[in-house]
Chains A and B, each alone.
Chain A
Amino acid sequence: MSDLAVPAAIPAARAPARRLAASALAPRVVLGLYILFLLTPIYWLVNMSLKTNLEISTGMTLWPQNPTLENYRRIFTDASWYSGYINSLTFVLLNSAISLAVALPAAYAFSRYRFLGDKHLFFWLLSNRMAPPAVFALPFFQLYSAVGLFDTPWAVALAHCVFNIPLAVWILEGFMSGVPREIDETAAIDGWSFPAFFVRIFMPLVAGGIGVAAFFCFMFSWVELLLARTLTTVDAKPIVATMTRTVSAAGMDWGLLAAAGTLTIIPGAIVIWFVRNHIARGFALGRV
């Protein structure tokens, strides 16, 4: 019986093997095409940033014929350009620090305790993440003018807290709920005070979550334009606003614009490299 079955099984086994080879190739093709779709527009930007305006306007070339760093040199030597990057980084870092500092204890409270109105509070927080920045633009302008913070990095950092704090609380709560509560109880029995326990034991346990939350604060503060532009005029003008204003004022300097755009991609690429191992779970907001 088994002698008969074996030869019959061999051709049957071979067919799936061939199908397996085809099905192993298909995902790579799909992934390759998708990555090509992602990278082509970015390549085009980098390509343009290395060209002179003459080359850009006179013809279509797939790569720069006379590569030049002139556009980058202008950005790094002109204070009105490079101060934009410094301003942007200043309010992004301020915002990340503030958001994390207040979100950590709050996320702990939400993940460990039930308290009066906790569910409503949580949803109210999230609802701020959902409010369109366009709704806040005008009142923010008036509020920060009234308290004298207009055109400072603080105005933008505080304004971005509206959507970054809820997000940080949401992410951290997800990661903290993954830490067993027995650890808190054991530490309390061992005589750790709450602040000492929180900083020296608990925070290292959710370090991945803190990294991911910091990453998201950085990301959403770095990419936002509307509020950053509305709340600044001269002194604290972020790079994203510098780009839009220069374009409308001086006509289209495509090479310079492309170079400035390319430079804004770099901080994100660096930050993402640091959290690459947590990134998949992080984008699921710690809820997988």
Chain B
Amino acid sequence: MAKPRDDRAWLLVLPVLALVAFSALIPVMTVVNYSVQDTFGNNQFFWNGTAWFKELLDPSTDLGGRFFDALWRTLLFSGLCLLIEIPLGIAVALCLPRKGWGVAASLVTLALPLLIPWNVVGTIWQVFARGDIGLLGAAVNGLGIDYNYARDPLAAWITVVAMDVWHWTSLVVLLCYAGLRAIPDAYYQAAKVDGAGAWAVFRAIQLPKMQRVLTIAVLLRFMDSFMIYTEPFVVTGGGPGNATTFLSIDLVKIALGQFDLGKAAAMSIVYNLIILTVCWVFYATTTRGQSEASR
């Protein structure tokens, strides 16, 4: 049944529109405004055209080189997170009990890392991975491996990725579990009659039925890992050197640390556009798939 058309529905959307416009539109316009101006302080601004954008998108300049380095680092980080978290999340979801007291207990335990403030997540891992007072750091050093995330870029990367896996895999698990629960028992019975093995059941029934929730999971995980700030900031501060300086960290450094308004604003806009483009492509393809499926 198609939804009826009624433009009075706008009245119901108006409060949201007013509030989000106040909280989002004004700041975005401020950013756009700064991105085309330069200042010598004293609140005196003058027109600068697209100079900031040209500098930002040219890797041979200081700013551009810095931006592209941070961009590749962020993309690598998002890629690693998705590669580990999605398969691991599916695997754990398949292992969850389907009924009994274990369900609620497992779900609450799994969801626990999601509700810890992000800087506390950073603090937990900062402490946990330290060689002198942390269990993980001491254990790895005890095995004879030199592991120090404050000195060694590779160790810093492993720590930051492990932290993200620890923090967010549960989200993928919960999403997949919700998808698995929606599969009627009849499907499994039919598979049993056909003598299908566990792998065949997974490929032919479970994976296709999880497609929608996996879409949401990939979308959320991409967005959130691409704009990660707090956790690596607390653990490594972007270091050692610039090894874990992701886009957000660099942006905050430029905007609030150096107060370089024009550069920061141009960077904000490009950064935002990247996320928006990826999400739009993703959103468009998945909603198109859905409307075809429902037809």
Contact = CB atoms under 8 A, between A and B. Distances in A.
Interface of A: 23, 26-28, 30-31, 34-35, 37-42, 44-45, 48, 56-57, 60, 62, 98, 101-103, 105-106, 108-110, 112-116, 118, 121, 123, 125-143, 158-159, 161-162, 165-166, 169, 181, 219, 222-226, 230, 239-240, 243-244, 254, 257-258, 261, 264-265, 267-269, 271-273, 276-277, 279-281, 283-285, 287-288
Contacts of B175: 283-284
Contacts of A31: 92, 95-96, 106
Contacts of B1: 181
Contacts of A268: 112, 114-116
A219 B255 contact: no
Nearest to A257: B123
Nearest to A139: B27
A106 B112 CA distance: 30
Interface in B3-24: 3-10, 12-13, 15-17, 19-20, 22-24
Contacts of A109: 9-10, 12-13
A40 B111 CA distance: 15
B207 to A, nearest CB: 15
Contacts of B24: 128, 131, 136, 162
Interface in B85-140: 88, 91-92, 94-96, 104, 106-120, 123-125, 127-128, 132-136, 138
Interface stretch (B44-52, B54-62, B149-157, B227-235): B227-235
Classify the interface of chain B: helix, strand, loop or mixed: helix
A112 B234 CA distance: 44
B5 A225 contact: no
A226 B252 contact: yes
B248 interface: yes
B77 interface: no
B9 A112 contact: yes
Given A42-B113, A132-B247, A283-B175, 20 more contacts: A31-B92, A41-B136, A45-B128, A56-B133, A112-B4, A113-B4, A114-B3, A114-B4, A126-B279, A128-B20, A130-B223, A135-B31, A135-B271, A138-B256, A162-B20, A254-B127, A261-B116, A261-B123, A268-B114, A287-B213
20 contacts: A31-B106, A42-B116, A57-B132, A102-B16, A113-B3, A113-B4, A113-B6, A115-B7, A123-B280, A130-B279, A133-B227, A137-B256, A138-B31, A140-B27, A162-B20, A165-B16, A223-B116, A225-B117, A244-B234, A279-B111
Nearest to A142: B30
A106 B16 contact: yes
A219 B115 contact: yes
Classify the interface of chain A: helix, strand, loop or mixed: helix
A288 B213 contact: yes
A137 B252 contact: yes
Contact of A42 (B7, B20, B95, B124): B124
B182 interface: yes
Contacts of B28: 139
Interface of B: 1-10, 12-13, 15-17, 19-20, 22-24, 26-28, 30-31, 88, 91-92, 94-96, 104, 106-120, 123-125, 127-128, 132-136, 138, 166, 169-171, 174-175, 177-179, 181-182, 198, 212-213, 216, 223, 226-227, 229-230, 234, 247-249, 251-252, 255-256, 261, 264, 268, 271-272, 275-276, 279-280, 283
A272 B108 contact: yes
Nearest to A116: B7
Given A132-B248, A132-B271, A265 B120 contact: yes
Contact of A139 (B7, B13, B26, B276): B26
Contacts of B13: 105-106, 109-110, 121
Contact of A285 (B10, B216, B230): B216
Contact of B252 (A128, A134, A267, A280): A134
Contacts of B30: 139, 142-143
Given A132-B271, A139-B30, A271 B109 contact: no
B261 A27 contact: no
A240 B121 CA distance: 11
Nearest to B280: A123
Nearest to A239: B117
Contacts of A35: 106, 109-110
A261 B223 CA distance: 26
Nearest to B89: A34
